Every structure is written in structure tokens, then in C-alpha cells.
Amino acid sequence: MERDALDWRRAHRPGEATQPSGAHPRRAIRVKCITAEAAFAALAIEWNRLHDLTPSASVFNSWVWQYQWWRSYGGGQPLRVLVASQGDEVLGILPLYVQRERAFGAQVSVLRLVGTGGDTHPDDLGPVLDARHEREVARALARAAVRAPEGDLLLVTDIDPDTAFAEELELAARRARRPARVGRTERIVYIDLPASWDAYLASLSGNRRAEIRRARKRLAAAHAVRFFVWDDAARLDYATERLADLHRRRWAAAGGSESFASREYLDFHRAVIGSSLARGWLRLYCLEIDGTLVAMTYCYRFRNRVFVMQGGFDPGWAQWKPGTVLLSHAIEHAIGEGNEVFDFLRGEHRYKDHLANGSRDTVYAAILRRNLRSLAYLLRPPYIPMQRNSLRSRAARAVRRFFRLREPAA
């Protein structure tokens, strides 16, 4: 039976972190590994405190999101939450778990971020860190993750490239002389919101501006239309079920969608939606036509940014463009609240590019051990470039990449 926490050795080797001249010596940052769900739950207070202090915090690395994901998707997999402390003070938390996968007949152990895997695809993951010690704590957590005693590879995805942790993760791999692959996970587009709705419309092309105005005017002339943001906690389960139904109906004609397709997905989002409404994060935008809820857009608001998760509409109303009308109202509402960014998150859709005026990337790092299991994982189809070359030549290139080691920077 596993203990609640494993004590790992000191996260810094002598000389890796130096004190300024004349400074009082500080105790070393130590990293322990939480392995029990009850201990994960008990981290809530410290996690929430650190989340408030983390420059790159998001809804998706909040305790609410991470813990609910684990309850829905953990499924008996080994939990490995790294907690960095200095004395009795917790300075950082990096939630990981071990996922077992098959690759070319071999069982591969992948150490990856809580929140990734299953049928969920979040963005903006990563540790929560005390901003006062961001670099030092990021270094300790990165080194501990890279040197973890288990896992054929460490796979960290969907993180902000402009963070101390992203930089320290690659440096830790180099120092440990571990092969690493680093690249872009997703390109995400967003709107830098101006001060007014009229200013936003003026920033669009003439055709796009006319389309939005025409769709809103045409619908309002023919039907009773109401836009609102859901705030009824007592009927939130109904709202979640209606959102799921509208999403499934919207995408049924296009071959379906993974979102809201499984009981785990629905239960997870129902729990997070409820917790987020209480925290003021939820923005569930709704369009009602003639008294019927026909379109919904599921978003979160955090630090003056609105993040678009999912949406759907009744295809029976498609001729009235309810999706276009609702999204325009959502953007207008976000501007009215004083938000600075309307972020579309992952997913390539033309309508996003038509409305957006900026883009950003999230990145991944795959840090491998030199064994055949990690090589087998590397050769899986997601890691083989789908070019015209033969499988043999692609495999040969992958093997060469696997055994090529980048030396630490001088």
C-alpha cells in the first residue's frame, strides 16, 4: 500500500541556487510527492493561496478544476502531486500522475499533468507557484519531475512558453542529460477587447461587421429574443444538460464531438460549473428565442479574460444564425464587464480567425529515458510526421532523434 506522501531528496544540488552576497542563508526547497487522493483534497487551502499568487494562473490549474478532474478521470492511476516547501511554507505545487499506455506491444509509463488525458483537452496548465520565489520554485519542481524515479517519460503539455517553469523544465532535462522534444501544443487565437462594442465592430472587416448586425436585426424583427448570462444556481443542472444537448445536436451533422460524449465528461463539467458559479468564474451565455433556450456558449471569466470552452445551438434554428448572434452578444457583454481579452482556446475554426486579432501558443515537453519503452512511445503515430516517406525512414529519423542529446548550455 502506498503512503500518503513520499519524501524526495533535496530538490537542489549544492551550488545550483546561490544566495546574494550578505544574505542570510535560507533553508533548501524540498519536494515531497503526494500519492493519496485524501492528501490531494487537503491541499485545497494552500493551493488556492498559491493560485492567487501565480502569475500564469488559469481556471485550468486551479484546485477546483484539477481535483474534480482527478475524481472524474483518475480511475486508480498512480497520483504524483509534487509539493515544494521551504520549512513549513508551501511555495509550489505541480500535479502529476502516471498513465499506463501501450505502444507497439510494450507497456509505457507516462508521467503527465493532472488534467490531461481522457476526453478532456484543457489549455493553460502547469504548476501554481509563489511569485516571490517563482524562478527558484520552478527550478525545484522541474528538477524533481525530470528526476522522478518512475515513468518512462515525462510528458508536460499545454503550458505557457513564457513562464519560468517552461524554461526550467528544458534546463532540467539538459542537466539530467535526458533526451527531450519540445514544441508547440496549440495555436490559440483571441480578441484584444477595446473599450466599447462600437470600437470592436469598427475593427472588423466591413463584411463581418455587416453580417453580425444583419443577423441580430433579422432575428429580433421576426422573434422575441432574449440574451442572458445564467445565474440560477438552483437550476444549474438543467442548464448543464441543456448545454450538452445543444452541443451534441449542433455537431451531430458534422460527425459528432468528443465533448459531452461520455458520462465522465458530463459529470466533471457539471461539478466544475457548479463550483465556478459560486466563485464568480462561470459565464454561461444563453440565447432564448420565443421563450425557448436555443443556443448556449460555455465560458469562464478569470483575471479580466473570458475563455470560451464549448457551445451549441438547436440546428432547427440554423437559418437564423443563433451561434453568430449569441457569440456577438457574448463579446459585447465581455466588453461591458471591462474584460481585456476574449480567448477562444484550442480548436481550429474559421469563425475564430475572422473575429480574432491576436494569437498565442501553448507548448509541450516530452522528456525521455533511454529505454525501448520510451522509444516505442516516441514512434507512435502522433509522434511520427505524416509525410510521404516510408515508415522505415520515419522510424530511422525518430531513432536518431531519440539518441541525439542536446548538451547543457554553456
**What per-residue confidence (pLDDT) applies to 250?**
86
Measured on CA atoms in the order 335, 341, 346, 350, is the torsion positive or negative?
positive
Is the domain covering 5-13+27-187+362-403 a CATH 1.10.3720.10 domain? no
Task: Answer yes or no: pTM beyond 0.75.
Answer: yes
**What per-residue confidence (pLDDT) applies to 256?**
62
**What per-residue confidence (pLDDT) applies to 353?**
85
**What per-residue confidence (pLDDT) applies to 16?**
41
Grid-cell match 434554428, residue found: 317
Which one-letter DSSP state was computed for residue 19?
P
**What per-residue confidence (pLDDT) applies to 377?**
79
- In 20-62, which ranges are continuous DSSP H helix? 37-42, 44-53
pLDDT mean for each 10 residues of the chain (410 residues): 45 40 62 97 98 94 97 94 96 96 84 90 93 96 94 92 95 93 91 97 94 97 98 97 93 71 90 96 98 98 97 94 97 98 87 90 91 78 44 51 45
Measured on CA atoms in the order 408, 141, 145, 159, is the torsion positive or negative?
negative
**What per-residue confidence (pLDDT) applies to 306?**
98
Contacts (Cβ under 8 Å, ≥6 apart) of 260: 243, 244, 247, 248, 266, 269, 310
**What per-residue confidence (pLDDT) applies to 370?**
81
Is the domain covering 194-339 a CATH 1.10.540.10 domain? no
Q: Tens of pLDDT along 218-262? A: 999 999 999 999 999 999 999 999 999 999 998 887 666 667 778
**What per-residue confidence (pLDDT) applies to 384?**
41
The domains spanning 5-13+27-187+362-403 and 194-339 adopt the same CATH topology = yes
Cell numbers standing for residue 70: 482527478
**What per-residue confidence (pLDDT) applies to 251?**
81
Q: Tens of pLDDT along 85-105? A: 999 999 999 999 999 888 777
Q: Domain boundaries in the chain?
A: 5-13+27-187+362-403, 194-339
